[in-house]
Amino acid sequence: MRKNVTERVQKHRAGLRAAGLRPVQIWVPDTRRSDFAAECRRQSLMLRDDAQETDVLGWLEAAADTEGWE
């Protein structure tokens, strides 16, 4: 059975490559880790009084199209 699955995956990937696609691996933070929330808080607190961060957040708020959001 393992070979059958491997063959199907290889065929599927070959089809994607034939369509002009390529695989890309992306590493993202693991939100399930026990220390994830604490790290988010730590990083947020580091930016709390940062003038550039305040400017960027102000720009984002002004530029965001939030019409109709509730």
Tens of pLDDT, residues 13-69:
999 999 999 999 999 999 999 999 999 999 999 999 999 999 999 999 999 999 998
Residue 13 placed within a domain? no
pTM, two decimals, is: 0.55
C-alpha–C-alpha distance, residues 44 and 21, integer Å = 37
DSSP H helical ranges for the chain: 2-18, 36-47, 51-63
- Output the six-digit token pair for 56: 């960027």
**Containing structural domain, residue 44:** 32-64
Q: How many domains does the chain have?
A: 1
Residue 3 placed within a domain? no
Question: If you ran DSSP here, which 8-state letter would residue 49 be given?
Answer: T
**Closest Cα partner for 19 from 30, 11, 7?**
11
Question: If you ran DSSP here, which 8-state letter would residue 53 be given?
Answer: H
